[in-house]
Each structure stands twice: as structure tokens, then as C-alpha cells.
Amino acid sequence: MHLLILAGDGIGPEITAATVAVLKAADARFGLGLKFEEAPVGYAGLKTCNHTIHPDIVEKARRADGVVLGPTSTYEFKDPHRGEVNPSMRLRKSLDLFANIRPARTYPGLPSRCGDFDLIVARENTEGFYADRNMEDGPGEILVTKDVAISLRRITRLCCERIARAAFELAQRRRKRVTIVHKANVLKVTDGMFIEECNRVAREFPEVAVDEAIVDAMMALAVRNPQRFDVIVTTNMYGDILSDLTAELSGSLGMAGSLNAGTDHAMAQAAHGSAPDIAGQDVANPLSLILSGAMLLAWHGRRTKTERFEAAANAIEKAVEQAVAAKQSTRDIDGALGTRAAGEAVARALA
């Protein structure tokens, strides 16, 4: 399996190095044949090739079997004409990574705010309110006058159908329940179309139970009783916000694994940001990207029907669980280790 490693900005290089160490331990144990190729993105890309993600890197990602992307300073990249684009957006759009899968679960030994739970947010990843990816050419935001701005939301049946299918296929492997999250009481046409497509796909999965929740009520329900949810399917912005909430309920946003997946390509990516205020201090939690790397291995295993990749992914998740329970982790989840040592603890538990 050929992996393209893009370390990113801020804490990105630190958590990426810890993740690569764990992937190498998995390779040694399971014989995965991993091959690693590195390329600069973010500020490193601007420095070396005057672009936060050069088109050559996108082509490398297209040829790879998977991508591992560390967080980048996307808020600071404001001028596309100077090569300042969001690397995550460019890869999601170029590789058509339409499904953003974000699990959230509690861990033994880590205090939980709302009791034990295990759920997944399946978030549409290529349209919605995200103005940097919902148009063929140009952004989906318009400055009409200096005092009037408009943001367009694109919803298509195709994108609704395929994220719904991804969610129901996930639920089929889990506890067989899907919750559709929307705001159709106000956004009657766009979210109405989303619900229609979800319910149409649901008819192909009669053994999977289906319910619905309006997005604002869903935030309260997730805090009150996260145990009731299995797979949550929703549009782009709702899923982005909701998955951060559920990750924090599990103990820390630093535990938030995330996989961006399409039909032919996938990318592991921590759900959190680049945290420049703690960069270089060896205190960042690497588990989000480590768990994302495990999800990437599992995706590749299912796609190629190669069981050892799924076994390796399961083993990484077990190793994370052991490290968390033994307090072999970073301070945000009651540990005392630095970033590098936390990654090494997972690698040791895996080996």
C-alpha cells in the first residue's frame, strides 16, 4: 500500500510523525507492505513551490493508495492567486472524497461527560454551505456590494444519495440504526431533497431502523443521550459541527478520527486544527490522526478484500484503547506523555 504523507502546519508534523510510527508498527506486525512518500503542503508548500498544495501533489495523491494529511493553517490562506488554497478542500474536491466518516466513542479509563457511547457521523463532504467546493468554477460566496454578501448552498440528489448509501452500509455493519439530521422545517427544498434521498436509499436496507432529528434539537439530544445513536447522516456543515460536539463528549477533540472517502480514493485526516499556539511543544494529542490512519487501512482492506488491513486497523484501535486506559497518553486526556511518547506507547501496545 502506497501512502502519501502530508504533514501540514502547526502541530501537523508532530502528530503525523507519531502516526507514521504507529503505521510502521502495524506494517511490521501484519505484513502490509506499506510504502511512504512525503510531500510539502501548507506553509512548507508555499516555501518550496509557492503553493500550499501544488498540482503535482494532487496527482501524487491520485496515484497513491491513500493519503495521510496533517492539519494545515487553512484560515490564514486567503489568496488563491498567490497559491494560498485549503489543501484539505483541494484534495476532497479533486479526488471526489464525498463521505467524511467521523466516529466518536468513549474509552475505558477516560471519564465521560455523558456516559458510554459509540456512534458515527457520516457527513457529506463535497457541497452544502461550503463555498470553496460547491461550484465548478469560482467560490459560492458573492460580495454584491461592500455591504451585501450572499452565500449559496448547493444540494444535489447525487451527493445526497451517495452519503446516504455510505451511512446505511455503515449501519449494516454496526447496530443497524440511521438518524437523518436536517433543518427541513426551514430549508424545505434543499433539506427536503436530502431527506427524500435518504429515505429512498433506506428502502434498500429494510433491516436498518431510521429516524430523523432537526439539527438544533439534535445537538441537545446528543448531549442528553448519545447512547441512542448509531450512525448519523447529514449534510456538510451540520456534520462538521455535530461531529466536533460528539468528539468532545467522548473525552477530547484530540480523539476525533476522521476519514474522507470516495469510490477510488481515501484520506486520513485529524478532525481538529493545526493549533499553532502549542506547535513544537510536544504536547499535542496524536490519537485523532492515529485513529484516522487506522480507518484508512480498514477502507483499503475492504476495497481490496484484504483482511490483514482490517485486522491491522482493529489492532491499532485496541492499542489506542490500551494506551488510554493505562494513561499512556497526553495531558488533555489525563495522561502525562508528550506527542512523540504517546505515539510510541500506541506502537508498543500494537507490537
* Order of strands, sheet of 209-214, starting from the edge strand that comes earlier in the sequence: 35-38, 2-6, 66-69, 266-269, 259-261, 99-105, 118-124, 231-234, 177-182, 209-214
Rounded Cα distance, 70 and 8, in Å? 5
Helical packing angle, 236-249 and 215-224, nearest 10°:
10
| Catalytic option among 9, 27, 230, 240 | 240
Which candidate in 56, 211, 216, 264 is catalytic? 216
With beta carbons less than 8 A apart as the criterion, state whether 21 and 343 touch. yes
Question: Where does residue 334 fall: left (phi above 0), alpha (psi -120 to 50 degrees), or beta otherwise?
Answer: left
Q: Which of 130, 191, 230, 238 is catalytic?
A: 130
Let me know if 240 is a catalytic residue: yes
Whether the CB-CB separation of 265 and 95 falls below 8 Å is answered with yes
Q: Specify the DSSP class assigned to residue 117.
A: -
Closest CA to 31 of 306, 290, 268, 294: 306
Q: Which residues of 318-350 are buried (b: 16+ CB within 10 A; e: fewer)?
A: ebbbbbbeeebbbeebebebbbebbbbbbbebb
Rounded to whole angstroms, the Cα distance separating 72 from 130 reads: 17
244 is an active site residue: yes
| Catalytic entry in 9, 27, 43, 183 | 183
For cell 506547535, the residue is 279
Q: Which of 244, 282, 332, 334 is catalytic?
A: 244
216 is a catalytic site residue: yes
Q: Can you list the alpha helix ranges (DSSP code H) found in the chain? A: 12-30, 43-49, 55-63, 87-94, 157-173, 190-202, 215-224, 236-249, 287-304, 307-325, 339-350
Question: Which residue is associated with the grid cell 461550484?
Answer: 135
Tell me the catalytic residues.
130, 183, 216, 240, 244
